[in-house]
Amino acid sequence: MKLYELTIAEAHTLLKKNKISSEELTSAVLERITALDDEIGAFITVADEMALSMAQQADRMIAKGHITPLTGIPIAIKDLICTQGLRTTCASRILENFIPPYDAFVIKQLKKAGAVIVGKTNMDEFAMGSSTENSGIQITHNPWDLNFIPGGSSGGSAAAVAADMCLGALGSDTGGSVRQPASHCGIVGLKPTYGRISRFGLVAFASSLDQIGPLAKNAADCALLMNAIAGYDAQDSTSAPAPAPDDYSAIPRGGLAGVKLGIPREYQTTEGVDDSVAQAVRKAIDVLETLGAQCVEVTLPLTRHAVAAYYVIAPCEASSNLARYDGVKYGLRDTTMTGLAEMQRATRSKGFGAEVQRRILLGTYSLSAGYYDAYYKKASQVRTLIIDDLKKAFEKCDVIIAPVAPTPACPMGVMTEDPLQMYLGDIFTLSANLAGIPGMSTPCGFSDKGMPIGLQILSNHFNEKTIFKVAHNFQLATDFHLKKPELNTDCG
């Protein structure tokens, strides 16, 4: 096995036994990036020198007997999480040369754990999109087939993990942006409970929906990342004061006896679900039942309104959050205009891409006088009803099982040609963000074109440990998460 193919847990064992060094591991990953990323386009910035310096520091820590499960492990970071001294662009021309003067909370936690940051990954601009084609910097391709999308908005992070260009990554999930690319790239992605991970240093898209989440090669690695980044942060007013579990990775392996799986009635009749997705999810449920889990039917009648509610609330919050990019404080400024209003108009027109402009306009319209009650207020009321639906469902079950996306990854260009199709593709993921509950995607099958399909596991607030239990036991009984895309490379 090549060093870059290791899981986090495997690499940790070898590092602890001094069988390998972090510098060797990091060098192998950087060589892998050099060999593959011209074709895949997962990284906006590769931090070669910084990564090797961090690896050398990790080796010194290990030599002194100071090692955590992430010490010396190469990790990639979605490019909307602030990294001190390392460019953070949000994949937007308006922030193309922005270098943060501070680290996000999660970056501080990773550094404290001794992790190695290898670079910043591509994304849909300001996390607005589901294909990573809306990046203002470059397009990311799916490692399983370069003609297909990797999903989004955390498509760069997902593609980097799937192609072994890092051992784990961080993304963000506002409406499915960790789970959906994890599904499309055949890896594991977790959207934690809202408030479980600090958003300090996460560049805001929709503040009541955004949540940082880990992406990894399997559920056990995902748990190790959660151990490092979860917890209360006084710098984030939305950070939950509830203490995080001591160890997410202490996952019971003895099957799923006593676990109740909620199967939403509405998800079984949703239009537009690809046959390969429906079959993969059904087979996954069969596997979970053989492990001892019990299926119960639940109902989520407001699911059909989730897309409409989300695409009012999220653009409204985006309109407010992105008002700060005015050409005055930081970022791009159009210097050809002399008047303030003209300068701001030209700066925002040049700096923001089409999808970001579309959502700013939708949000500004929905918040305008005479329309606030009809749109934002009504959407917020629907959001409350969706939360109530999920509360009632979790009275009957421990987790809800669903598809991640109605279809496998689609060819490049399909979503950019039809934004409505992109929005409807979020039907199964949006409710978790609106309600603030945790959800995970774990590989459960492949389409007839060989593209990965993810199984979504949702649970009640702060119940990530049950999600890990279900996913890990499913992975012990299957091998979907072990499959790798065939990539042509000569790197060692």
CA dihedral 6, 121, 81, 189 (to 10 degrees): -50
- With a CB cutoff of 8 Å and minimum separation 6, the contacts of 73 are 8, 11, 12, 22, 25, 114, 115, 116, 167, 168
Contact 34, 195 (CB under 8 A): no
Instruction: Name the amino acid, one letter, at 221.
Output: D
- At residue 203's C-alpha, the angle toward residues 149 and 244, to 5°, is 95
Backbone angles phi, psi at 212, to 5 degrees: -70, 140
CA distances from residue 6 to 248, 376, 473 in whole angstroms, order as listed: 20, 47, 20
Contact 128, 362 (CB under 8 A): no
What pLDDT shows up at residue 450? Answer: 97
Q: Is 447 a catalytic residue?
A: no
Structural domains of the chain in order of their starting residue, each with its CATH number: 3-257 (3.90.1300.10)
Q: Which two tokens stand for residue 47?
A: 């931090």
CA atoms within 13 A on the CB side of 406: 16
What pLDDT shows up at residue 246? Answer: 86
Which residue among 21, 22, 27, 78 is the active-site one? Answer: 78
What pLDDT shows up at residue 491? Answer: 45
Which residue among 92, 135, 154, 177 is the active-site one? Answer: 177
* Cα–Cα distance, 377 to 361 (Å, whole number): 17
What pLDDT shows up at residue 150? Answer: 98
pLDDT averaged over 10-residue windows placed end to end, the chain, 492 residues: 97 98 98 98 98 98 98 98 98 96 98 98 98 97 98 98 98 98 98 98 98 98 98 97 91 94 91 95 98 98 94 98 93 92 96 97 94 95 97 98 97 89 91 98 97 98 98 98 84 43
Contact 219, 440 (CB under 8 A): yes
Contact 470, 285 (CB under 8 A): no
* Cα–Cα distance, 324 to 315 (Å, whole number): 15
Q: Is 177 a catalytic residue?
A: yes
* Cα–Cα distance, 338 to 358 (Å, whole number): 26
Phi-psi region of 327 (alpha: psi -120 to 50; beta: other; left: phi over 0): left
Phi-psi region of 91 (alpha: psi -120 to 50; beta: other; left: phi over 0): left
- At residue 212's C-alpha, the angle toward residues 95 and 164, to 5°, is 85
* Cα–Cα distance, 20 to 93 (Å, whole number): 40
* Cα–Cα distance, 13 to 59 (Å, whole number): 14
Q: Is 465 a catalytic residue?
A: no
* Cα–Cα distance, 215 to 106 (Å, whole number): 14
Which residue among 21, 27, 135, 153 is the active-site one? Answer: 153
